[in-house]
Structure 1
């Protein structure tokens, strides 16, 4: 979208590059901008180019130029992203909302064609492939067939949207993961539109949008709600942030991977505290960081909590753009523009930062993270010891004594291949008899028709997934994993029979370079056949475990583990059968598939024996840095990228053969269980009703610390018997066709029923109960009920609801449904100790007020147990255009005793106050669109 700037500073000029001429807005016209960190220079250019005197003013530009690194953020600016990027889970609701807005505009007497993306929007369908089939040559084909079978309705709808909306493009299924497609193809680094050149910036409906920061592109994840507003030309309201300078020195040592660096940085930044801040990498060490590693670091920004984690543009950026097939004309523009605007990295001129950190890359050692958060880093050398400590919190089974060995010998005589520690394929088996004392143990014999006989115990690795945007974009770790697989196969090692192996590359280019390097046969010998090109294990699209293995785990309450090369390992996310999830580099994922258990020390425990009967250790099969580098140079070429992306929007015959509806407005199918008209605009008038104080509210959920958007709005399997499953049953959907909650995000009926329904969610209104339950105080005594059922009763009785939470409420994926579901359940306010950035703004975007307990206080310290009724006063001040700093909350206990406190109001900007007054961001945009 080109915006005509009023150009107070006379910054408009031209840039000649070769035979081309571009209009640009020169930062040099504003004194002070030359001293700014890279990311703030990008914001300054954005304001210069979009200055309109109303939303974006000369004062905002002056404030940015005069930025004080040490000041606390207090100046609001309006950032206009160049483009929007979406994945299908979060993108489908966006397009549902846009389609619904077209109808609402018509109802209110406006022109429906006004509802169109004003900023270019790309959607990559990457979240819908489920690994039902694994470990076979036809896994990819069968999984894609199932994907189309399940998601045909959604895909028809998205193809309609591609035709109905201008400037909206869809990358069909099977191409790759959104963030990898973004850095390899979609991101231009410098954007050209209508003759204007300016920095590429983007917001995305996935928290890992920050991966593009590695390419020098300022962008971050927003909720789907904010993304829709950005598509419709609404600037993103934000405070000028603090910028943390992260200095990199030294080089990583052999045997250490980019994943290890990322887990170390995540650990450091979480400890330092960077929520709501920008992180910017600088220093001489930056030049030594390959672009794939930069992208890996940028990708993990949400795990350490920052808004963005950016690298400046330099020679390495240009080299990567060249490798991935960008045109010579584009390369020349990126370099010339970056140098003209002071955006080219200059290691000798370091800007001032708000805070400083430093990492000598040579000090990084191999690490994993788990068992439930990405910031819980464990040194690989300590992993067995740490596992033995952690497993005790996941099981009540006693630590075995010597009697256990006798019991095992009795159950499985030495002649039995299970007891002697071998499976039908000759692979060694860890059992309690093989020295697993020191941790809880419950060896269970499993007979599987396909996998033979073996013993499962606590700690068994049942999922080993090379998956996710974080690492599959990085040739050094992907080639490293494949070379390790080759070395393992040549030594005669095999994956354990109980491990569900997964290889889901982030782009087809990975498959091409594996092919060229001749590495596929080794990966496949270990079970790592390609299962899909998409985001799989990391988002819970792991698919079911083999039946006998799943039954053994659930019938015996085994605490088993998953190891994945992803970025998210929250509880209940990866597989409903798995309690403990660990993040690791791709080579270590393969190593754990060989080990078969987390109760393993790679330094002292052998992975198996070679053909001569010698023990094989991890160090014996780990590839050298030189070999990884040589393989990358010989196997990866520019033409792989140009060929792979030449037909990126075409899709296969399945995509092209979809029966797609036409027309400006969508013909909703009342029978659809995937795509339903959204309810947000029902009964909406042109003038918003005044906001009101909350009276007599009940607590729907009382929650602890680190409640993630996964807990609030899970994306995984739909559990039979739950309200979401009951709805699908009532609509004639067979259990095998439930699909996942994530895939049904276009249907609010399913999503409301799935809100707060995570199997690991603990609502403290109930004692020791997990899952989507609460107490329903519309009934005598407040009996236990499903959260959805209780919410329906409360809403029928006209009783508003509140949610109480702890620290870091709403961390994790930027799920718009975590806010939409909260609102549609009748929740008017969420009161916590602290919020993660995206979820807080999403709540406001849905008309829910975010409040914080007074500093140092919590529900527990105030003596609240969730049985109280709540009154919240001060909301009506917003009708007068005033956002109060605090609101008075009165919680009345059943015996009449009152707890009164002043809750801090987390409506942080005037723009957010406008959204709240309008009942939400979409209503605000819609009203302005009709007026405009």
Structure 2
């Protein structure tokens, strides 16, 4: 259909493309210039997909006449051009597709109907772990261990690449998915042959990582969704979404000397969190955007999940074209981008008319000051000069169970003298490096008894890691220059600091080498450990055992500093209670200081070779120094060289053997890849929704419970349910690998759900971790073990939670895990956008307490038995009479309490998903012709 006569042609270079022209709406009185750029992209998406069913002419007209002040109420169907995945979320997605092929066959359909219908691109970047660090062999050792641990997963992905059409994988060791997306995969304008014609349209996407929004810096509209939503998008299902409000963020001025893009993004994150932008688009505009490089914009876009927005987008402009040339894109593609975006009124010029926004916020870039964020959340920004005082203020709430409650411990401090770092003035760090790794103890390597020196606030992890900053040459070069100056002054890093450098792409190493900066980073033990997410996602690897022992023995609040985007409790390392986000140069500076409470303004970092004290100001690079290095080393050839072979992989990847079959040959003894159970016993047609009776509470949780608390992440503990499962299946503890690497095995993942060491379940007061009480007996046990007993009794389960339930990464297992535990409903005060959608997508009922009400205000202890009646009537009526569902809770003494909740199934499409038991079951029945 083409109700608005928008189908037209566009000439670019020697080619002619079919396009859907936005100006056709202008001819019908629509004022396109008043629409934010992001909504113009959505408008084109609707024009192109109008079919009278998923997208109607009324939908298009509604968006064209968007009311900036209106509360979102109308659903639209968004059809992204492609899907981006990383391997943690990508492996279970491909496992699910493989299981769907089996189910399709059982339903009498054609298994080969199960294919991505949109291009699906996966980058293997989440599996490398920092086992070895601080040596020249760090990368090789970590890469070898990664392949050894993940060979089975990687062979499965190669099968998927062979079996599924429209699916490709970038092998491990090539870079982080968001940076590879930015530097290589993104087209900005997508082209597809349809009906013998080349059709051009904006490059749009959804990704299985919440930081998919990094691509917003390139003007590409995209955001993170749950793995199950992404699978549906791959299978041709539209992403149903409420037409959002758009917050305009006006930038002016220019960053002053000493401030970095990281300081800017931490400031933006804090401002937008305070404003409240959950579920909204944020669009940046104003004269200040011309002062930001594309990499700076991508840094801001990357953090959209941290400030809570669906996306944080910059419009396409001259800087976009400059970046495309820098990264070696073909000139023909760059010309098409410029021609298409200008023709469609999507190209931003400084003199362009300002769009209308739902609300606006402004920042003068010159007011940005050096900052860090921590110790628990990305939005908890602290000025650098106040970081030490802030840590001391937070210390009582961070203390471990064996700590001195006054937070004091007398230790000898790491001092500087004689041109080198020394302990008590008489113990030097060794010049040489060990030939073998991984490192097991600091004492073995440095001959230092760390127990004498570690204190509250000691930094034990310093990591330049994550897509957020390792995509940005300005902060990466600044870190290299600072390292160079520090080495030249004679400074070094205390031996207990686990240092690492994990670039987002191999291009970073190339420009470091060309600038001559890599040897200085190596000298400070910031050796390259891998090209992946590493520390930011919990793959920090084990600390030296003597460091761990000192922390445990004294209940110390040890600290990590990292250039990543996430610092939630328990995420970085189970040994570290305080985690701070900061720019790469500050990571190096804090590593040198060795303590989070170091006063950079008044305290020296050490004594230089000349005997003078060295302060941070003596080694901090100027903006001109950074700019000069970038200008001399950043060339398109770096990108074309690295990306010309990005899909080849190394000899290990090329030698991988895998089965060649239309359905996967599941290995019954595999501890990595197991057939997903979601389709077991599935009927050909959806069964009627039943009310939930006799439910018990599995956990009572507080505010800001993140997907890091819910979803299995990080290392697998030996004595936990997942560790016991692996041990029973013959896996040695040294080979446990991480939860992320075993996401294709539901047996491991369900045992790690709600098992975060920092989870506080109010149903088991005085505890931390994945424990609960089995009711009505009251016996304490692991959440998994309790779920097994409840399942044996046929008891459905409920989670009670506070505000912002499910904030954090878009982890599908934060919904899949509870589903397999037997959770049928969640009652929370509010939800994070992606997680709420994922709960519906797994057939879990999300309910919301009434305004101002909570489990505490209703005096719900979690020991009650819950009844959910009337759900079927609400769904049958498609919420025509509202979404209020009454819940009845019966206490142990027999007293009853009723309260009202709102059913958070937000769109008609979600009703269909829930009625089918989940989004995948719905899609499977559709493809099998059973719906």
> Same-fold call, TM > 0.5?
yes
In 1, Cα distance between the equivalents of 2:498 and 2:698?
Answer: 38
Whole-angstrom distance in 2 between the partners of 1:658 and 1:446: 37
Task: Tell me, in whole angstroms, the C-alpha distance in 2 between the residues paired with 1:288 and 1:418.
Answer: 43
2:462 aligns to what?
464
* Structure 1 unaligned blocks of 5 or more: 1-5, 410-416, 428-444
Q: CA deviation at 1:66?
A: 0.7
TM superposition shift of 1:399: 5.0
Residue in structure 2 matched with residue 9 of structure 1 by the alignment = 4
Normalising by structure 1, we get a TM-score of 0.95
RMSD: 1.5
Matches within 5 A, 1:648-659: 648-659=646-657
Matches within 5 A, 1:471-550: 471-550=469-548
Task: Specify which of 338, 345, 354 is matched with residue 350 of structure 1.
Answer: 354
State the match for 2:212 in structure 1. 209
Residue 799 (structure 1) aligns with: 795
How far 1:30 sits from its partner (Å)?
A: 1.4
Is 1:146 matched up with 2:145?
Answer: yes
Hey, what's the Cα distance between the residues in 2 that align with 1:794 and 1:918?
A: 24
Native 8 Å contact 2:407 2:456 kept in 1: no
Q: TM-score, normalised by structure 2?
A: 0.95
* Equivalent residues of 2:258, 2:622 under 8 A apart: yes
- The 1-side partners of 2:712 and 2:806 are apart by 12
Helix, strand or coil: the match of 1:643?
Answer: helix
2:251 to 224, 236, 248: 248
Return the offset for 1:878.
4.5
Alignment CA distance shift 1:426-1:667 (3 Å): closer
Q: CA deviation at 1:874?
A: 2.2
Equivalent residues of 1:424, 1:453 under 8 A apart: no
| 1:446 shift after superposition | 7.9
User: 1: CA distance between counterparts of 2:909 and 2:531?
Assistant: 39
CA distance in 2, matches of 1:686, 1:845: 18
Q: Is 1:369 the equivalent of 2:365?
A: no
Match of 1:818 in 2: 814
Alignment of 1:563-712 (within 5 A): 563-712=561-710
Shift of 1:686: 1.6
User: Relative to structure 1, is the Cα distance of residues 399 and 692 closer, same or farther in structure 2, using a 3 angstrom cutoff?
Assistant: closer
SS in 1 for 2:232: helix
Choose the corresponding residue for 2:310, options 307, 310, 334: 307
- Match of residue 135 from structure 1: 134
2:313 counterpart of 1:293:
no
Distance across 2 between alignment mates of 1:258 and 1:96: 38
The reply on whether 1:28 has 2:23 as its aligned counterpart is: yes
The answer on 1:744 being equivalent to 2:731 is no
Distance in 2 (CA, whole Å) between partners of 1:843 and 1:418 is 54
CA distance in 2, matches of 1:340, 1:422: 70
Which of 390, 394, 404 is the equivalent residue of 1:397?
A: 404
Match of 1:325 among 324, 328, 341: 328
Give the structure 2 partner of residue 414 of structure 1: none
Structure 1 residue 59: Cα displacement: 0.6
**8 Å contact kept, 1:701–1:764:** yes
CA distance in 2, matches of 1:448, 1:595: 22
* Residue 880 in structure 1 maps to residue 876 in structure 2: yes
> Hey, what does 1:838 align to over in structure 2?
834
SS in 1 for 2:831: coil
Q: Deviations over 1:257-293 (max 9, x none)?
A: 0000000000000000000000000111111111000
Deviation at 1:546, TM superposition (A): 1.2
Q: Determine if contact 2:489/2:608 at 8 Å carries over to the other structure.
A: yes
Is the CA contact 1:76–1:239 (under 8 Å) kept in the aligned structure 2?
Answer: yes
Q: CA deviation at 1:714?
A: 2.8
Residues 583-627 of structure 1, C-alpha deviation per residue, up to 9 Å, x if partnerless?
A: 010000000110001121110111000012211110000011001
Q: How does 1:764-775 map to 2 (within 5 A)?
A: 764-775=762-773
CA distance in 2, matches of 1:342, 1:56: 22
CA shift digits 1:79-106 (9 cap, x unpaired): 0000000000000000000001011111
Separation in structure 1 between the aligned mates of residue 894 and residue 604 of structure 2, nearest angstrom:
65
CA contact (8 A) 1:213 1:219 kept: yes
Counterparts of 1:18 and 1:616, CA distance in 2: 57
2:123 corresponding residue in structure 1: 124
SS in 2 for 1:931: coil
> C-alpha displacement at 1:879, in angstroms?
4.7
Question: Could you tell me which residue of structure 2 aligns to residue 754 of structure 1?
Answer: 752
* Distance apart, 1:856 and its partner CA: 0.6
- Deviation, 1:387, is 1.0
Which one is further off, 32-41 or 629-638? 32-41
Question: Which residue of 2 is the match for residue 440 of structure 1?
Answer: none
Aligned to 1:268: 271
Deviation at 1:35, TM superposition (A): 2.2
Instruction: Tell me which of 825, 843, 848 is aligned to 2:844.
Output: 848
Unpaired runs of at least 5, structure 2: 414-420, 432-440
Q: What displacement does 1:394 show?
A: 2.0
Which residue of 2 is the match for residue 452 of structure 1? 448
- Tell me the CA shift for residue 53 of structure 1: 0.6
* Local SS of the residue matching 2:837: helix
Q: Does 1:220 align with 2:223?
A: yes
Using the TM superposition, give the Cα deviation of residue 425 of structure 1 relative to its aligned residue in structure 2, in angstroms. Answer: 2.6
Q: Distance in 2 between matches of 1:399 and 1:744?
A: 41
Shift of 1:423: 4.0
SS at match of 1:727: helix
Q: Is the aligned partner of 1:828 residue 2:832? A: no
Query: Partners of 1:800 and 1:293 in 2: how far apart?
Result: 48
SS at structure 2 position matched to 1:515: helix
State how many pairs are aligned: 898
Deviation at 1:559, TM superposition (A): 1.0
Task: State the shift of 1:555 in Å.
Answer: 2.1
Q: Distance in 2 between matches of 1:338 and 1:422?
A: 65
Give distance in 2, aligned partners of 1:254 and 1:720: 49
> Larger deviation: 418-427 or 222-231?
418-427
Give the distance between the partners of 2:592 and 2:200, measured in 1 at CA: 51
1:451 positional shift: 4.9
How far apart, in 2, do the equivalents of 1:170 and 1:419 lie? Answer: 48
Query: Do residues 196 (structure 1) and 192 (structure 2) align?
Result: no
Specify the SS of the correspondent of 1:487.
helix
Answer yes or no: is the 8 Å Cα contact 1:706–1:809 preserved in 2. yes
Q: 1:421 and 1:214 mapped to 2: Cα distance?
A: 49
**Aligned residue number for residue 77 of structure 2:** 78
- Structure 1 window deviating more from structure 2 (811-820 vs 338-347): it is 338-347
**How far apart in 1 are the matches of 2:608 and 2:461?**
24
Query: Secondary structure at the residue paired with 1:30?
Result: helix
CA distance in structure 2 between the partners assigned to 1:490 and 1:641 by the alignment: 31
Q: Aligned partners of 1:303, 1:341: CA distance in 2, in Å?
A: 31
Tell me how far apart the structure 2 counterparts of residues 44 and 345 of structure 1 sit (CA, whole Å).
17
Assess, with a 3 A threshold, how the Cα gap between structure 1 residues 36 and 449 changes in structure 2: closer, same or farther: closer
Task: Indicate the residue corresponding to 1:176 in structure 2.
Answer: 175
Q: Which whole-Å CA distance do the structure 1 matches of 2:96 and 2:903 have between them?
A: 28
Change (3 A) 1:179 1:457: same
